[in-house]
Structure 1
C-alpha cells in the first residue's frame, strides 16, 4: 500500500504525528482526498514558472489540515524545482512592525529555505555557493581563464566585479549592499575565512540589528530591517530564478496571530502589507513568486478583525458566488479546505498502519474491520461531531498502535472503548474578548 517510502520518512511521519505536528518529509505518502486541490496547485505552479506570480489563502477550521496542506505544497513545489520556505506567524513574527517583528519573520523564512536536495531547510548557504560557482564558471569562460586557475586569489577582483554586475542586473532596491555582502561571502568562501562567510550569511538572513555592527564586519551601509525585507525577498527570488530554479515559494502559516494583534492600527498595517503583496503578484510587478497564507475561517471572514475588516482585501478575497460544496473553483485566491470524509479517513488510517509496521519492522494484527470499529467508536462519542478533528483521530490511532506494539496481548476493544473526545480548538471567544478589552483601553 505504501510504495517507495524511505526509513527516514517513515520515522518522521510516525514521530511527528504522535507529537501532534505535521512531518517535514514523506508527507506525500499519507495524502488522501486532496487531488483536486493539488491538480489546481500544479497549474498555478506552471503559471509561476512562466513568469507570473501568485497568492493563495488556504482556509479551514482548526484541525482541517491547513498545516498538512502547506507541507504537501512544499513537496510538490520542490519536485517542480522551486526554492521553498516556511514560516509561522507568531506574536513576535508578522508582516509589518517597527520593532523588529517583521524582519524576524524574514529571518525565519531565510532559515527555512529548502531545495530538493535539502528538503528540511537550511539551504541558503548551499544556494549561495552554487550561485557563486556559476559566476566563477561564467567568468572563466568569458575571460579564457582555466577553471583550475580562476579560484586563485589574484582573480578575486575579476569575480567580485562579475558578482556586482550580475546583482545590479537582478535587483531594483537595495542592490548595492546586497551585492557587497555577496562579494564578502565569495571572499570568505574562496579564502576559507569562515567568520567573514558567517557574517555575510548573518546579513543576508536579516540578523544584524544595528548598521554600525554590520559596517564593522562587512563595510556595508544598510541592514535588512522591517521596512526593506520584502524587497530583499524579491531580490532573492530573482537570484534563484537566475540560477535555473522555477521560482520562490513562501508558505506563511498560523495567520490567526495576525488576527490576534491587539492594536487595530497595527493589525490594519499588516493587512495592508498583505494587500501590497497581493497587488504586486497579480499586477505583474514581481515575477516567479508564490506566497501561500493559511488560516481559519474566522481569520478570513471576521469583519471586525479578520481580513474582511480591510475593505480592499474583502473585495478581492470574497468567494466566487457560484461555488458550492459540489462545484468548486480552485482558481480563485481563497481555497477552502473541506474536512476529510469517513472513507478518506479510513484510507488514511490504513496508510498509517502500513507505515507504522514498516517503521518498526513488525506486522500488527489490526484488520480493516478493527480500523472501522475504531472509527465508529471515535465518531459516535459525545462531542465528536462538534470537536473531533483529523489530527485527534490520527494521534489516537497511532497511540493505540503504540500500545499494541509494546503490549501484544492487550484488549483492543477495551482500548477503543477508552477513547475520549476533547475540544482542542483554541478559545477564539476568549481571544475576541481579550482583544476587545485592549482596544477599548
Structure 2
C-alpha cells in the first residue's frame, strides 16, 4: 500500500508518465531499485550542506532513468532545505555562448527555482521577500526600531544601507548592480509598486536583452549576460545560504545537446566551462553549491565530440579502474546508471496500478498475474531486447489500464497481443551510434 500520497501527486505521476516524461512531484512514490544511487545523493547533499561543493555526471542510455534520478534528487534536496533549480540544455541553452544562449540557460534556471513550500518552481519572488523580511528584522533590531515601524518611509535609507552592506558581504562579482536592483525590488515591495518589483525581478532572472532598457527601468549599468551569469549563480548561492538554506542545487538535463554543437571550437568552449565549474567546486572556490549533469554515454565518452574529447575533463572523469558492474563506486564524479531489472519493473508496475486506481478512484481488475502476463508479452516481442526501455513499458502499461478503465468488459489479453516494439530513440542517439561505427 502506498502511504501518504496526495491526490495532486497521483495525478502528476499518471499524467506525466502517460506523456512519456518524469513527473515534477511525487517521484519518491515510484522509486525502485535505486537504493545505492539514493544513498550517494544523501551523502553528497550532506557534504554540500557542510560547506563543500561538487559536480556529478549521471550517465545512462536513452530511457535508463537519468531524468528520473534528477527529479528524485530534487525531492531529497528539498526535504533537506536546499534551494533547487532545473533546466534542460537545448539548441538555444548552453553553458558558453556569445549570442545570448548562456543567458537563456541562466534565465531557465532562475525561472525554475524551487523550495520545499514551492516544489514546482517559480520560488524566486518568495525567496526575495523572505530575505527582505530578514533584512528588515535585523535592521530594526540593530537600530532599536520597533518592528511595527521599520517599514516607515523615514527608514528607507537605513534599509538600503543594510541591503548594500549585506550584498557587499555576499558578492564577489557584480555586487553593486545586484545590490541596486535588490534595493529597487525592496522599494517596489514596500510601496506596492508592482511594476518596479516586476522589473527588478526581470533583471534578477536575466531577462533584460539590452543595457539601455535596464538603465531606463532600474538605473543600472549592467545586465546579466553570457559572460557573468555564472558569477550571479554563485552570488545567489551565498544569498540562499545566508537566509538559512542548506545550499543551491542545480540540475542540468539533456547534456547531449552540448555534444551536438556543430562547431568544434564552440563545443570546446562549453566543455571548458564545465571544467571551470568542476574546478571551482572541487578546489573549494565556492561553497554549498551542487551541480548535476545528465547525459548519455556518448556525451561522456565519445573521443571526437564528447567530454572525453577534452583531455583535461577526460583525466578527471575516467572511471575508477577497480569498478565493475558488481562492485560500484558512487563517490566518483561520474555515476553510470544501470538498467533496472525485471523484478524491479514488476514492483514499479504494481505501484503504478495502485496510484492509477487512487487517481481515478477506481479498482481495475488487473492483479499480479496480469502484470506478469503483460511483462512476458512485452519483453518477448521482436525488438524488445534492442529497443525496449522502462519508459515504453510504463507508458504501454498505463495506456492499457486507461483502456480497461473506460471499457471494463474489454479483453485485456487482446490488448497485450497488440503491443508493438519500435525504436523510439531520439535522432541524436542514432547519430551517436552511427558515429561510433
- Which range, TM-score by smaller chain? over 0.9
Counterpart secondary structure, 2:426? coil
Counterpart secondary structure, 1:250? strand
| CA displacement at 1:272 relative to structure 2 | 0.2
Structure 1 gap ranges (5+): 437-441
Preserved CA contact (<8 Å) 2:300 2:307: yes
Query: Aligned equivalents of 2:185 and 2:27: distance in 1?
Result: 35
1:258 maps to 2:225: no
| CA displacement at 1:429 relative to structure 2 | 6.8
Structure-1 residue corresponding to 2:330: 330
1:151-230 correspondence runs (5 A): 151-230=151-230
Structure-2 residue corresponding to 1:242: 242
Structure-1 residue corresponding to 2:303: 303
Normalised by the length of structure 2, the TM-score is: 0.98
Query: Aligned equivalents of 2:136 and 2:149: distance in 1?
Result: 11
Preserved CA contact (<8 Å) 1:241 1:288: yes
Q: How far does the alpha carbon of each residue in 1:214-263 deviate from its partner, in whole angstroms, 9 at most, with x for none?
A: 11110111100000000000000000000000000000000010000000
Preserved CA contact (<8 Å) 1:260 1:431: no
Preserved CA contact (<8 Å) 1:96 1:102: yes
1:24-35 correspondence runs (5 A): 24-35=24-35
Structure-2 residue corresponding to 1:396: 396
Q: How far does the alpha carbon of each residue in 1:352-385 deviate from its partner, in whole angstroms, 9 at most, with x for none?
A: 0000000111111101011000000011001101
- CA distance 1:39–1:433, shift in 2 (3 Å): closer
- CA distance 1:46–1:397, shift in 2 (3 Å): same
Query: Aligned equivalents of 2:199 and 2:292: distance in 1?
Result: 30
Query: Aligned equivalents of 1:89 and 1:125: distance in 2?
Result: 24
| CA displacement at 1:433 relative to structure 2 | 10
CA RMSD, 1 decimal: 1.3
Query: Aligned equivalents of 2:50 and 2:358: distance in 1?
Result: 40
Counterpart secondary structure, 2:415? helix
1:7-406 correspondence runs (5 A): 7-406=7-406
Structure 2 gap ranges (5+): none
Query: Aligned equivalents of 1:152 and 1:384: distance in 2?
Result: 69
Counterpart secondary structure, 1:335? strand
1:413 maps to 2:413: yes
| CA displacement at 1:434 relative to structure 2 | 11
Query: Aligned equivalents of 2:429 and 2:115: distance in 1?
Result: 40
Q: How far does the alpha carbon of each residue in 1:86-111 deviate from its partner, in whole angstroms, 9 at most, with x for none?
A: 00000000000000000000000000
| CA displacement at 1:162 relative to structure 2 | 0.0
Preserved CA contact (<8 Å) 1:100 1:226: yes
- CA distance 1:209–1:435, shift in 2 (3 Å): farther
Preserved CA contact (<8 Å) 1:261 1:435: no
| CA displacement at 1:428 relative to structure 2 | 3.5
Query: Aligned equivalents of 2:410 and 2:28: distance in 1?
Result: 32
Query: Aligned equivalents of 1:257 and 1:361: distance in 2?
Result: 41
- CA distance 1:435–1:135, shift in 2 (3 Å): farther
Counterpart secondary structure, 1:23? coil
| CA displacement at 1:422 relative to structure 2 | 1.1
Q: How far does the alpha carbon of each residue in 1:27-79 deviate from its partner, in whole angstroms, 9 at most, with x for none?
A: 10000001111111101101001110010000000000000111000000000
Counterpart secondary structure, 1:292? strand
| CA displacement at 1:153 relative to structure 2 | 1.6
| CA displacement at 1:435 relative to structure 2 | 9.8
Q: How far does the alpha carbon of each residue in 1:3-44 deviate from its partner, in whole angstroms, 9 at most, with x for none?
A: 000000000000000111110001100000011111111011
Preserved CA contact (<8 Å) 2:260 2:428: no
- The size of the alignment, in residue pairs, is 436
Normalised by the length of structure 1, the TM-score is: 0.98
Counterpart secondary structure, 2:55? strand
